[in-house]
Amino acid sequence: MDPQHLADEPAPREGFLPVEGATLYSRDIGQGPPVIVLHGGPGFDHNYLLPDLDRLADAFRLIYYDQRGRGKSTWNVPPAPVSLQSEMDDLERVREHFQLEQAAVLGHSWGGLLAMEYAIRHPERVSRLILLNTCPASDDDFALFERQLAVRDPEDAERMRVLDSDPRMAEGDLDTRAAYYRLYYQPTLRPPELLDRLISHLQVGWTKESVLTARATTRRLFPETVKMPGYNLLPALARLRVPTLILHGDYDFIPLPCVTHIAEAIPGARLVVVRDCGHYSYLERPDAVRQALDEFFQAA
Is 42 within 8 Å of 218 (Cβ atoms)?
Answer: yes
Q: What is the per-residue pLDDT across 47-85, written as a single tens digit (0 to 9) for each? A: 999 999 999 999 999 999 999 989 999 776 665 578 999
- Its pTM stands at 0.94
pLDDT at residue number 78 = 64
State how beta strands 244-249 and 13-19 pair: unpaired
| pLDDT less than 70: residues of the chain | 1-9, 76-80, 300
**CA–CA separation, 257 vs 144, rounded Å?**
9
**CA–CA separation, 254 vs 259, rounded Å?**
8
pLDDT at residue number 80 = 59
pLDDT at residue number 1 = 46
**CA–CA separation, 300 vs 296, rounded Å?**
6
Residues facing residue 61 across a β-bridge? 34
**CA–CA separation, 6 vs 179, rounded Å?**
29
Distances from the Cα of 39 to the Cαs of 22, 60, 63, 107, 226, in angstroms? Answer: 18, 17, 11, 6, 17
Exposed, middle or buried: residue 96 (CB in 10 Å: 0-12, 13-18, 19+)?
Answer: exposed
